[in-house]
């Protein structure tokens, strides 16, 4: 029991422990993101864009009438 309490006091009570906690958290979430990205690419490997797909960003050739310059939008 003293080994476990010693580990937790090192983990949260010293700079090296907190640094190990932060680096471990970053590595853990990078691993999770990599695994989820691989699963998504396996599921949608041949998905082609069709007319029914929603696009959050306008294409360059789309003539929506809106300009990125404020002077043109008056």
Mean pLDDT, contiguous 10-residue spans, the chain (74 residues)? 94 96 97 94 78 66 60 60
Q: What is the pLDDT of residue 12?
A: 95
State whether residue 25 is helix, strand or coil: helix
DSSP state of 48: -
For residues 17 and 11, the answer to whether their CB atoms sit within 8 Å is yes
Q: What is the pLDDT of residue 51?
A: 78
Helices 2-13, 15-43: axis angle to 10 degrees equals 90
Place of tokens 């949260």: 12
For residues 17 and 8, the answer to whether their CB atoms sit within 8 Å is no
């Amino acid at each position: 029991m003293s080994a476990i309490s010693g580990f937790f006091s090192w983990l949260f009570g010293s700079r090296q422990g907190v640094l190990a906690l932060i680096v471990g958290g970053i590595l853990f979430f990078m691993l999770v993101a990599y695994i989820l990205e691989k699963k998504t690419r396996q599921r949608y490997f041949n998905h082609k864009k069709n007319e029914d797909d929603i696009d959050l960003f306008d294409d360059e050739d789309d003539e929506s009438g809106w300009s990125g310059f404020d002077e043109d939008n008056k």
